[in-house]
Amino acid sequence: MSDPWEPATSKPGEMYTPEGQIKAFGALARGLKNDDPRSRRYRHQMQRTGLLIVGCAIALVAAIAIVTALF
């Protein structure tokens, strides 16, 4: 079963080709460098969420390491 959603500008299966991957990475890079004030607030919310997830993962790994060391 394939992914039912595809962007309107892509051809079927384009995301799975090298050219599609390059286009997707380029769009991501343009979005990160975009200083549009309308998207800045959303980008900061996503960065905050990402940092929270990374912090939780580090805390989980540390807790597992401590528990493993004790037993």
Q: What single letter denotes the amino acid at residue 31?
A: G
pTM, full prediction: 0.50
> Which residue matches tokens 């390059």?
22
Over residues 10-49, the pLDDT tens digits come to 566 666 778 878 888 888 788 777 777 777 777 788 889 9
Interval 52-58 mean pLDDT: 96
Structural tokens at position 46 = 């996503």
Q: What single letter denotes the amino acid at residue 60?
A: L
pLDDT at 64: 96
